[in-house]
Amino acid sequence: MKKTLIASVLSFGLVLSAQAKDIVDTAVAAGSFKTLATALTAAGLVDTLKGQGPFTVFAPTDDAFAKIPKADLDALLKDKAKITAVLTYHVVAGKVMAADVKAGRVKTIQGSELTVTTAGGVKVNNANVVKTDIVADNGVIHVIDTVVIPK
């Protein structure tokens, strides 16, 4: 009985650890963040967002990136400094769940601030938050419908 219990506990732990995903793996598994994954690779930020965190990521979908003219997006992806600035503008240190969101300004890891509004739904600058609280083992993802650009 004791051996069976220990084996069960160990296998349960293995299942839990196999299911745990960081922010990057969680976004890739969702299937609607292919452009974001490409951009993270171009910026060299994959390892950062696979790191310990915690992070709150306002993740633009593929449709959000599609709003940027193709030539502009291609140029952005080729400019490591600019794509890094844009992507880190979507990341806040710490884990902020939807229930904890308050209107105001929040500092990003890029260094600039995002403006969060809550009247008529949550917005981050000009982007609508369309899905919240996608939990990863090193933070949380909130899905947005527009890429936000730092000033």
3-state SS record for 51-81: CCCCEEEEEECHHHHHCCCHHHHHHHHHCHH
For 35, list phi and psi in degrees, rounded to 5: -65, -40
User: Residue type at 81?
Assistant: A
User: Residue type at 123?
Assistant: K
Q: Where are the domains of the chain?
A: 21-144
Contacts of 140 (CB under 8 A, 6+ apart): 54, 55, 56, 57, 95, 96, 97, 133, 134
For 5, list phi and psi in degrees, rounded to 5: -65, -45
Q: Is the pLDDT of residue 122 over 50?
A: yes
Characterise 90 by phi-psi region: left (phi > 0), alpha (psi -120 to 50), beta (else): alpha
**Average pLDDT rounded to a whole number, residues 84-105:** 95
* The CATH number of domain 21-144 is 2.30.180.10: yes
Reported pTM: 0.85
Residue count of the chain? 151
- pLDDT tens per residue across span 53-81: 999 999 999 999 999 999 999 999 999 99
